[in-house]
Amino acid sequence: MSSTLRDFTFEAAPELPGSDRVSQYGLGGLRRIVHRLWDLTIEGVGNIPADGPAILCPNHLSFCDSVFVPVSLPRRVWAIGKDEYMVGWKTKHLFPAFGMIPIDRSGGEAAQAALDTAARVLEGGHLFIIYPEGTRSRSGDLHKARTGAARLSVRCGAPIIPVGHVGTLEVQPPDRFTMKPGLPVTVRFGAPMHISDFGDPLDPRSIRPFADAVMFEIAQLSGQKYVDTYAGSSDNDDDQNDTETKAIPVPPGRARTPKMVAAPAS
Amino acid sequence: MNIASIIETHDANRVAVIDRDNTLTYGELRERVASIRHLLVEHGVRPDDRVAVTAGNEPMFVAAVLGALGVGARVIPMTPNDPLPEVDRKLTAVDPKIILVGEEASWMHDHASGIDAPMIDLGSVSTSVATSPEIVDRDDDDIAIMMLTSGVSGNAKAAMLSHGNLAWAQAAVCENTIDGMGADDVVFGSLPFSHIFGLNVVLFAALRMGAQVVLQRRFDLGESLELCADRGITLLAGAPPMWRRWSTADVADAFATVRLAISGAAALPIDVFEEMQQRHGITIEEGYGLTETSPIVTSSRGDAKGGSVGRPVDGVELILVEDDGTIVDRGDAGEIIVRGPGIFKGYFDDEDATNEALTADGWFWTGDVGVFDDDGRVYIVDRIKDIIIVSGFNVYPAEVENVLLGHGGVRGAVIVGNTHVDTGETVVAYISGDVDIAELEQLAASSLSRYKCPTKYHLVEELPVAPSGKKIRRELR
């Protein structure tokens, strides 16, 4: 099923971060502009519930993913964004007004506060976007999921909707400030996924299989090759300083397990 | 400090070991142990020499191990149940100076020609001697036990555990825990003493506290229930297959005196945990540990929850890491690595294996994948080596097996990976039971992502499962 410009239901939520007015009129304007400037195809929009909470998990290739995915949705949406956006004077006001919840990606209590806010959005019955890879993939491959989305799904009882898009990297490659118009972009929404289909929601062993299964579905939708490393951790990904991680020395005689790289499974 | 001293201070008239209808007091046990020390010194055994003890759970096994430790030797406990080629392979790996053979391993005397080291029949050792050598003092770091860990991975390796390693783990289950083992306990000794759990957590810990150990040479359900009731067992230790049998036993009051129930050696299925609670009112405490950790790492004592192996015990650091050593995100699965006083000193004469598992700063990389819950409890996911990688996606065999076991006709399931030209590996299921494969395919498709669904099913009569309950996957690959 494809979406049209008119298929949009605004949801007022004055108790949540973001401006109702900016979201209602700004997002409406943005949808018109995007549909006019790009050849946007939206598939599987029928997988988005008409009401109630859901977590949207897209692949992440370009800054403009955060434009194309929200404008493809028939409902208002909130999202987590890196708190570096809170430095620039434009983005500092504009992005939160659209519903961006800044997150401190060094982790800790500040990151937890952002996830708590995300939980409030879902508990209020709204849609929420979280990029499961945690950061943009600079290699173009689909990377291993962080578990935040899966844990949020358990905490709030919200399904995850895998999202795979194609074409955003060409519209705005890394380090390009502007978006190149006229190009085709496709956004595909997959069927809602529930952790109860993958194991006991109360058993922490269910989290990783669920997160992996979401990535599998995203790979089917985006056509990307999956690699079982985190985005930003491989030689091909230069976004390495996004998060600080601690490491323990590996035993000297231990051979690293080679991570197999292959085309999406069918 | 020598862990052979654990029996030295107890009242001579206290009962130490009960074997069938025979009772051995601590005084009598000390005499037998002294005889073994005398015998070994006469045979020229010196500190750090290697002494193999092959016997079942019999009184002379206890005396032989403590006697050999007492002269400062490194002791290799061996099961009497291995076939001769396996015995040969293990003896070659540890090259003992002398082999002490118990009643249960007496068959070995008929096969002496293939074994270099002299064998001594423990049945021929006198029960007491006029004089015997004193117990040799040892440092904490001196090696006490060399435990063979061929386990489920294949190659025979001997993990070197020091006197300090073993003493720390004993204290962890006795003095340094709530409701720890005490002098008044009557301990069920059926788990094999050739395994670190049976040896250190059951036998040595009980002897350390001056408790009674009721021996059972081979597990038998009916006999075990009689022993529980007749001997008034207070501490029941078992492996998951034993717990499954006990959980379904239709008996009244057999477990009336049991105050501590502990499981180890392999993951305890949740349905067994729940059945023991519901049918017998017994909460099984599960722990996690390995031969290389003496074996205590975690314990669920006082806070048991089905599926979890509890929290790390005091003194143990446990973290979860990626294969490059990066600590995993909160709530994510990773390889369990541990550091603490129970970590072994390396594998005997196998520097490569040691360097694969131990770091210079004392972290032992277990090869097990685990995950924490929000309350700090640990759950074991699978063995890293068993993970199947399909198109880059990880498939944990246990997850697929649990789904297939949900079919009423499936008695057992073992999942392995086969190489595949397109996807790298593919998932293959070995099933025992009475079941239609089409139904299993349907069950998998409705419960698992496509890449996790087995591409082949093999119906077999019996699955390769070790007595501990661990699956021996290498036989199916």
Q: Is the CB of B355 less than 8 angstroms away from the CB of A259?
A: no
pLDDT of residue B379: 94
Residue A233 to chain B, least CA–CA distance (Å):
10
Residue A68 to chain B, least CA–CA distance (Å):
28
User: Could you give the C-alpha distances from A248 to A77, B327, B332, B358, in angstroms and in order?
Assistant: 39, 7, 17, 12
pLDDT of residue A262: 41
Q: How far apart are CA B129 and CA B125, in angstroms?
A: 10
Q: Is the pLDDT of residue A241 over 70?
A: no
Residue of B nearest to A217 (CA): B449
- Say if CB B240 and CB B261 are below 8 A apart: no
Residues β-bridged to residue A129 = A56, A79
Neighbour-count burial of B337, counting CB atoms closer than 10 A to its CB (0-12 exposed, 13-18 middle, 19+ buried): buried
Q: Is the CB of A216 less than 8 angstroms away from the CB of B329?
A: no
Q: Which of B2, B62, B61, B55 minimizes the C-alpha distance to B26?
A: B62
**Residue B35 three-state SS:** helix
CB atoms within 10 A of CB A119: 17
E-assigned strand segments in B55-189: 74-78, 98-101, 119-121, 143-148, 158-162, 186-189
Q: How far apart are CA B357 and CA B385, in angstroms?
A: 13
Each residue of B80-106: pLDDT tens digit? 988 887 888 889 899 999 999 999 999
Q: Is the CB of B399 less than 8 angstroms away from the CB of A209?
A: yes
pLDDT of residue B367: 92
- Say if CB B293 and CB B270 are below 8 A apart: no
Q: What is the CA radius of gyration of chain A?
A: 18
Query: Residue B355 is nearest to which of A225, A253, A257, comparing CB atoms?
Result: A253
Residue A260 to chain B, least CA–CA distance (Å):
5
Q: How far apart are CA A214 and CA B312, in angstroms?
A: 31
User: Could you give the C-alpha distances from A264 to A142, B19, B171, B234, B423, in angstroms and in order?
Assistant: 10, 61, 52, 56, 9
ipTM of the complex: 0.80
Looking at residue B297, the DSSP 8-state letter turns out to be S
Residue type, B259: R
pLDDT of residue A85: 61
Interface of B with A in 368-427 (CB under 8 A): 371-374, 379, 381, 384, 389-394, 396, 399, 422-425
Residue of B nearest to A214 (CA): B449
Does the beta carbon of B363 lie under 8 angstroms from any beta carbon of chain A? Answer: yes
Q: Is the CB of B381 less than 8 angstroms away from the CB of A205?
A: yes
Q: What is the CA radius of gyration of chain B?
A: 23
pLDDT of residue A264: 42
Residues β-bridged to residue B98 = B51
Nearby residues of B154 by Cβ (< 8 Å), 6 or more positions away:
B474
Residue A258 pLDDT class (50, 70, 90 cuts): very low
Does the beta carbon of A110 lie under 8 angstroms from any beta carbon of chain B? Answer: no
Q: Is the CB of A265 less than 8 angstroms away from the CB of B391?
A: yes
- Say if CB B377 and CB B308 are below 8 A apart: yes
Alpha-carbon torsion (B64, B66, B71, B77), positive or negative: positive
Q: Is the CB of B326 less than 8 angstroms away from the CB of A246?
A: yes
Q: Is the CB of A226 less than 8 angstroms away from the CB of B358?
A: no
pLDDT of residue B446: 87
Residue type, A247: A
Residue A157 pLDDT class (50, 70, 90 cuts): very high
Q: How far apart are CA B264 and CA B372, in angstroms?
A: 19
Q: Integer distance in angstroms from the first to the last C-alpha of chain A?
A: 22
Q: How far apart are CA A214 and CA A206, in angstroms?
A: 12
Query: Residue B357 is nearest to which of A227, A251, A255, comparing CB atoms?
Result: A251
Q: Which of B213, B218, B203 minimizes the C-alpha distance to B25?
A: B213
- Residues of chain A in contact with residue B372, where contact means CB-CB under 8 angstroms, are 204
The DSSP result for A40-58, as a single string, is EEEE-GGGS-SSS-EEEEE
Residue of B nearest to A234 (CA): B324
Does the beta carbon of A190 lie under 8 angstroms from any beta carbon of chain B? Answer: no
Query: Residue B379 is nearest to which of A205, A251, A254, comparing CB atoms?
Result: A205
Q: Which of B274, B328, B329 to probe by mutation at the A interface, max A CB count within 10 Å? A: B329
Q: Is the pLDDT of residue A175 over 90?
A: no
Q: How far apart are CA A77 and CA A98, in angstroms?
A: 9
Does the beta carbon of A46 lie under 8 angstroms from any beta carbon of chain B? Answer: no
CA atoms within 13 A on the CB side of B78: 34
Alpha-carbon torsion (B38, B39, B40, B41), positive or negative: positive
Mean model confidence pLDDT for chain A: 83
Tokens of A218: 């995203």
Residue A238 pLDDT class (50, 70, 90 cuts): very low
Q: How far apart are CA A186 and CA A164, in angstroms?
A: 8
Does the beta carbon of A252 lie under 8 angstroms from any beta carbon of chain B? Answer: yes
Q: How far apart are CA B254 and CA B259, in angstroms?
A: 12
Q: Which of B292, B332, B371 to probe by mutation at the A interface, max A CB count within 10 Å? A: B332
CB atoms within 10 A of CB B47: 14
Q: How far apart are CA B240 and CA A146, in angstroms?
A: 34
Q: Which of A112, A133, A139, A208 to probe by mutation at the B interface, max B CB count within 10 Å? A: A208
Nearby residues of B42 by Cβ (< 8 Å), 6 or more positions away:
none
Residue type, A156: C
Query: Residue A147 is nearest to which of B329, B393, B447, comparing CB atoms?
Result: B329
- For B425-467, what is the HEC assignment? EEEEEEEEECCCHHHHHHHHHHHCCHHHCCCEEEECCCCCECC
Residue A210 to chain B, least CA–CA distance (Å):
9
- Residues of chain B in contact with residue A259, where contact means CB-CB under 8 angstroms, are 389, 392
From the first residue on, what is the mean pLDDT of each consecutive set of 10 residues in chain B (477 residues)?
97 97 96 97 97 96 98 96 83 94 90 79 88 96 93 73 98 89 96 95 97 96 96 95 92 91 86 93 93 95 88 96 90 95 96 94 95 94 89 88 92 91 89 94 90 94 77 75
CB atoms within 10 A of CB A30: 14
- Residues of chain B in contact with residue A247, where contact means CB-CB under 8 angstroms, are 321, 324-327
Each residue of A9-48: pLDDT tens digit? 778 777 777 777 777 777 788 888 999 999 999 999 999 9
Q: Structure pTM? A: 0.86
Residue A69 to chain B, least CA–CA distance (Å):
25
Q: How far apart are CA B247 and CA B268, in angstroms?
A: 12
Q: Is the CB of A262 less than 8 angstroms away from the CB of B319?
A: no
Q: How far apart are CA A152 and CA A148, in angstroms?
A: 6
Q: Is the pLDDT of residue A189 over 70?
A: yes
Rounded to 5 degrees, φ, ψ at A251 are -50, 140
pLDDT of residue B421: 81
Q: How far apart are CA B177 and CA B120, in angstroms?
A: 39
Tokens of B297: 């790492």
Q: How far apart are CA B60 and CA B69, in angstroms?
A: 14
Does the beta carbon of A248 lie under 8 angstroms from any beta carbon of chain B? Answer: yes
Residue of A nearest to B391 (CA): A262
Helical pair A148-156 and A207-222, crossing angle rounded to 10 deg: 110
The DSSP result for chain A, as a single string, is ----TT--B----TTSSS-HHIIIIIHHHHHHHHHHHSEEEEE-GGGS-SSS-EEEEE---STTHHHHHHHT-SB-EEEEEEGGGGTSHHHHHHHHHTTEEEE-TT-HHHHHHHHHHHHHHHHTT-EEE--TTSS--SSSSEEPPPSHHHHHHHHHTPPEEEEEEESHHHHS-TT--SPPTT-EEEEEE---B-GGGTS-TTSGGGHHHHHHHHHHHHHHHH-PPEESS-TTSSTT---TTSS---BPPPPTTPPPPPPP-BSPP-
Does the beta carbon of A203 lie under 8 angstroms from any beta carbon of chain B? Answer: yes
Looking at residue B330, the DSSP 8-state letter turns out to be T
Does the beta carbon of B354 lie under 8 angstroms from any beta carbon of chain A? Answer: yes
Residue B48 to chain A, least CA–CA distance (Å):
27
Q: Integer distance in angstroms from the first to the last C-alpha of chain B?
A: 46
Q: Which of B343, B451, B453 to probe by mutation at the A interface, max A CB count within 10 Å? A: B451
Q: Is the pLDDT of residue A107 over 90?
A: no
Query: Residue A246 is nearest to which of B327, B352, B363, comparing CB atoms?
Result: B327
Q: Is the CB of A253 less than 8 angstroms away from the CB of B354?
A: yes
Residue A187 to chain B, least CA–CA distance (Å):
22
Each residue of A48-98: pLDDT tens digit? 999 999 999 999 999 899 999 999 999 999 998 776 666 666 666 667 667
Residue of B nearest to A256 (CA): B323
Tokens of B279: 């049918």
Residue B361 to chain A, least CA–CA distance (Å):
9
- Residues of chain B in contact with residue A233, where contact means CB-CB under 8 angstroms, are 326
Residue A208 to chain B, least CA–CA distance (Å):
6
Helix, strand, coil % in chain B, rounded to nearest 5: 30, 25, 40
Q: How far apart are CA B147 and CA B145, in angstroms?
A: 6
Q: Is the CB of B423 less than 8 angstroms away from the CB of A213?
A: no
Q: Is the CB of B381 less than 8 angstroms away from the CB of A246?
A: no
